[in-house]
Amino acid sequence: MADLSVTFTGIKFENPFLLSSAPPTESESNIVRAFEAGWSGVVTKTIGVHPVVNVKGPKTNFMRTDPASGLISMKKKAGAALHSSWNWELISDKPLDWWIGRLSRIKNAHPEKVLIASIMAGSGSDEEMRHWQSLAKACQDEGADALELNLSCPHMDRPDMGSNIGKDDELISVVTQVVKEVASVPVWAKLTPSTTDIVVEARGAFLGGADAISSSNTFTSLPVIDPETLEFEMNVEGLVSTGGLGGPAILPLSLAKMAQMTGAFPDKDFSGIGGIAEFPHALNYFLLGCGTVQVCTAAMLDHAVGPTVIKNLVRGMEEFLEKNAHRGWKSLEDFRGIRRDRIVSHSKIKRPDEAHYHGGYEDEAPAATAEAKAAK
């Protein structure tokens, strides 16, 4: 029999599919609905100390591609295919006090499910470090099974928050270490993809004691401009700021980031995020070494919490394991990471005539030069 359960950072999940920290997990009712739909775990909307006020009007929208014209737009059009989601929504606008009581109620109602609390504070001062610890202790006291550190929100105005921390490996390490000092549950670090070499940031998280890394958060981006009005399709009184791009468009981008990290740290735990709607999408992350995956955009478009999405993911994994039963595959661990070794440097990809390719260096290969000198 196929076994969909996984053990990730020491926690038992009934399946490897989670709802990520996003609008679908912003309320108690949504989280409960998600558990009842079949998601094994939920990462709450990011909980902070300071109150936030979101922008006026829509905070999230979806871009689609018109197959006839190739135009990418937020305007709905018959036959258009989903391209991506775009949001400039900040963290939870509900204070910590609002979550206290609700987290424990959710966990008590669904003890078999995994509740991960996403938290975020600032950096650069003892006060902000205390905020990280206060959030961590409050959430784990409420029954949270793990903590996910939001080091990746792409549109925070404060220079000491979100992805502004996630681009600095030393800050990542310090924040992670501070939380680990008080954490009695596993700590996951959620990193931003908007960085030059994400392996550097991942190393900082692991040096700080992170039990796992979640990646990727959305990519820093702008909505498109309407060619008729010359206005950004999503704006407030004509003005726009950067937001986060998610959904199908970021699947290959997120996979590249994940491959870098799982290749560098093959023995560490990773939770893959980005562009997952069906099992074949999730399979990419599993084959690269992820132990769990998280879903957002697809769930938002499916009754807010993805009841159909999770059913398809579970069925897809069951069918995949049945199809590969002859290989002896009975669970995720039997095939996790088996395509990680196929990713190599560009110079290792076969050329039609390898004798004339030297990795972009001088025309004369080093080996040939040595042979020529020896002949003299």
- Give catalytic residues, as residue numbers: 153
The identity of residue 77, as a single letter, is K
CA-to-CA separations, 162 to 166, 201, 303, 361, in angstroms, rounded: 7, 13, 28, 40
Cis peptide, bond prior to residue 21, ω within 30 of zero: no
Distance CA 331, CA 4 (A): 6
Distance CA 114, CA 19 (A): 11
Distance CA 84, CA 64 (A): 7
Q: In terms of DSSP H, where are the helices of 196-306?
A: 198-207, 251-264, 279-287, 297-300
Distance CA 72, CA 55 (A): 23
**Left, alpha or beta for 40 (phi > 0: left; psi -120 to 50: alpha)?**
alpha
Which residues in 26-53 are b (16+ Cβ under 10 Å) and which e? bbbebbbbbbebbbbbbbbbbbbbeeee
Nearest to 103 by CA among 31, 19, 23: 31
Nearest to 272 by CA among 39, 72, 62, 16: 16
**Residue 81 in tokens:** 């295919």
- Do residues 116 and 87 touch, judged by C-beta distance below 8 A? no
Distance CA 309, CA 128 (A): 38
The identity of residue 328, as a single letter, is G
Count of Cβ atoms closer than 10 Å to residue 195 Cβ = 18
The identity of residue 245, as a single letter, is L
Q: In terms of DSSP H, where are the helices of the chain?
A: 28-37, 96-99, 102-109, 126-141, 163-166, 169-182, 198-207, 251-264, 279-287, 297-300, 307-323, 366-375
Q: Beta 41-43 vs 17-19: how paired, if at all?
A: parallel
Instruction: State how far Cα 208 lies from the chain centre.
Output: 19
3-state class of 220 per DSSP?
A: strand
